[in-house]
Amino acid sequence: MTGTSAALTPPADAIPPVRHPEAPAPGELLGAHYEHCFGCGGGQPHGLHLAARAGEGVTVTAEFTVTPDHQGAPGLAHGGVLATALDETLGSLNWLLRVIAVTGRLETDYVRPVPVGTVLHLEAEVTAVSGRKIYSTATGRIGGPDGPVAVRGYALFIEVKVDHFIDNGRPEEIQAAMSDPDQVRRARAFEVNP
């Protein structure tokens, strides 16, 4: 069984996404947006260390290797971890739009179990934009980029101002991220157009 709720169906007046002219070129690795991000940051020993790459249009591909730290049932990836992989991949699409956005809704189909040691090959695209609302979908395959689908994700991201993080994040981490002398890293921590 598969499908999405009405909240994830773009309205009739939604428009196709527009790739930002300064978005990374197709094939380019996006790198971590924030070192301490559980999805992509190198500073999280048990994190997913997901590596996303820009594709054509407003698409990305990504890879995530399931380690023993990511288990739910013995030898299998935890469903919440797989949702994190989808969320992170879908979230990275917004860097191609150069829009700051957070996940408002994420729906997931779990199609096949994903064993520890598996490389999950993800691909994602923005399908439509309506005002602050960004609609996107992702799939995760196992056994190779053309292997069988193991997970699918459908998301609605909502555009926010950088104040969303400044007002709500714990001050210690916000101050550290904002005082990073590396301008691009500082911008990417908040997914802001540098």
Ligand X SMILES: CCCCCCCCCCCCCC(=O)SCCNC(=O)CCNC(=O)[C@H](O)C(C)(C)COP(=O)(O)OP(=O)(O)OC[C@H]1O[C@@H](n2cnc3c(N)ncnc32)[C@H](O)[C@@H]1OP(=O)(O)O
Region of 24-32, 45-53, 61-69, 98-106 interacting with ligand X (CB under 6 A): 98-106
Q: 57 vs 169, which CB is nearer to ligand X?
A: 169
Q: Which of 57, 104, 113, 147 binds ligand X (CB under 6 A)?
A: 104
* Contacts (Cβ under 8 Å, ≥6 apart) of 24: 30, 54, 95, 96
Region of 55-63, 74-82, 145-153, 157-165 interacting with ligand X (CB under 6 A): 157-165
Q: 63 vs 88, which CB is nearer to ligand X?
A: 88
**Position 127: which residue type?**
T
**Position 37: which residue type?**
C
Q: How far is the CB of 143 from ligand X (least distance, A)?
A: 26
Q: Which of 17, 30, 32, 34 binds ligand X (CB under 6 A)?
A: 34
C-alpha 185/C-alpha 162 separation (Å) is 15
Greatest Cα pair distance, the chain, in angstroms, is 49
C-alpha 44/C-alpha 20 separation (Å) is 30
Residue 161, interface with ligand X (CB under 6 A)?
no
